[in-house]
């Protein structure tokens, strides 16, 4: 069984950005591990910090279950302050997890994406990008090796972002869309805070939205379905997935400009596990 590891700055990032693809991996036999980097202690409306942590954690477990994510690793950094954590401290935790779980594929925000306004997202993306190569060095964090770990390299990085400026892969997630809706709707506390931000902005604009007002107290499924459908159908249409299809876009990186070279000069390992790949992926 191959492992995919999602580095999620916040509890809701998987459901909000790439959840259907994670659900697809899980359905096709991958072990999917989610690393939640922060504690999401302030992402709520009208709740105490303790209650916010409790609810966001509980809702993450429900969302993970909806997506088929088998394991959650909690790093517990204070939320919305990762910019104050040394990048190398974050990177060390990620290197440790890569060496421990040995994922074939990692998912996170694109470290080079434009228009990202959340520094937690940027710091996690940058630390994952560095952890990718640092994990290979036997002189970086040799203390890990005392636990029986070894230098390790991830094969593929699947980067997503708010604005995909240069996606090179679109995953057809039509059959997994409802799982992503269920996962995002499960993040009730964080979604209410997101909705409340829009309400505050609308108020300053001199407007209100009854649909948003209702979503603050009622079921989120309808609102989430509309939002995610618009996003994933636009991705599918832009990449010609076909009538009625839905997609999630990524910048997938393996060896970069050396992909072709390694195709030519490498051959399968005799003891390599049978790769789990989708029909539409090489």
Give contact residues for Zn ion (rule: CB under 5 A).
9-10, 13
User: Least distance to Zn ion from the beta carbon of 78, Å?
Assistant: 14
User: Least distance to Zn ion from the beta carbon of 201, Å?
Assistant: 18
Residue whose C-beta lies closest to Zn ion? 10
Q: Report strand pairing: 71-77 vs 169-172.
A: unpaired
Torsion, CA 104, CA 239, CA 18, CA 10, rounded to 10:
110
Residues forming beta bridges with residue 253, ordered by sequence position: 157
Q: Where do the DSSP E strands lie in the chain?
A: 3-8, 31-38, 71-77, 105-109, 156-160, 169-172, 247-253
User: Least distance to Zn ion from the beta carbon of 197, Å?
Assistant: 13
Nearer to Zn ion by Cβ, of 40 and 172: the residue is 40
Nearer to Zn ion by Cβ, of 37 and 149: the residue is 37
3-state DSSP call for residue 120? Answer: helix
User: Least distance to Zn ion from the beta carbon of 13, Å?
Assistant: 4
User: Least distance to Zn ion from the beta carbon of 116, Å?
Assistant: 10
3-state DSSP call for residue 216? Answer: coil
Nearer to Zn ion by Cβ, of 9 and 111: the residue is 9
| Residue 255 DSSP one-character state | S
Two tokens at 68?
């088929």
3-state DSSP call for residue 218? Answer: coil
3-state DSSP call for residue 18? Answer: helix
């Amino acid at each position: 069984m191959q492992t995919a590891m999602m580095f999620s700055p916040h509890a809701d990032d998987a459901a909000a950005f790439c959840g259907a693809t994670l659900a697809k991996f899980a359905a096709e036999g991958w072990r999917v591990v989610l690393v939640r980097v922060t504690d999401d202690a302030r992402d709520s409306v009208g709740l105490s910090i303790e209650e916010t942590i409790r609810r966001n954690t509980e809702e993450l477990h429900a969302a993970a279950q909806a997506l088929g994510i088998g394991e959650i690793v909690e790093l517990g950094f204070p939320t919305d302050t990762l910019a104050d954590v040394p990048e190398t401290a974050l990177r060390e935790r990620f290197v440790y997890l890569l060496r421990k779980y040995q994922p074939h594929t990692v998912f996170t925000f694109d470290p080079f994406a434009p228009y990202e306004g959340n520094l937690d997202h940027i710091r996690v993306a940058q630390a994952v990008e560095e952890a990718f190569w640092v994990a290979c060095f036997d002189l970086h964090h040799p203390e890990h090796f005392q636990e029986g770990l070894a230098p390790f390299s991830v094969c593929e990085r699947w980067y997503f972002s708010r604005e995909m400026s240069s996606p090179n892969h679109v995953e057809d997630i039509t059959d997994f869309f409802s799982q992503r809706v269920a996962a995002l709707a499960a993040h009730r506390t964080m979604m209410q805070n997101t909705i409340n931000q829009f309400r505050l902005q609308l108020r300053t604009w001199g407007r209100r939205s009854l649909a948003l007002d209702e979503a603050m107290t009622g079921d989120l499924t309808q609102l989430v379905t509309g939002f995610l459908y618009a996003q994933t159908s636009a991705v599918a249409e832009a990449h010609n997935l076909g009538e009625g299809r839905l997609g999630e876009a990524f910048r997938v990186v393996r060896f970069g400009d050396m992909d072709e070279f390694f195709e030519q000069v490498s051959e399968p390992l005799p003891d390599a596990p049978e790769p789990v790949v989708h029909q539409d992926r090489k």
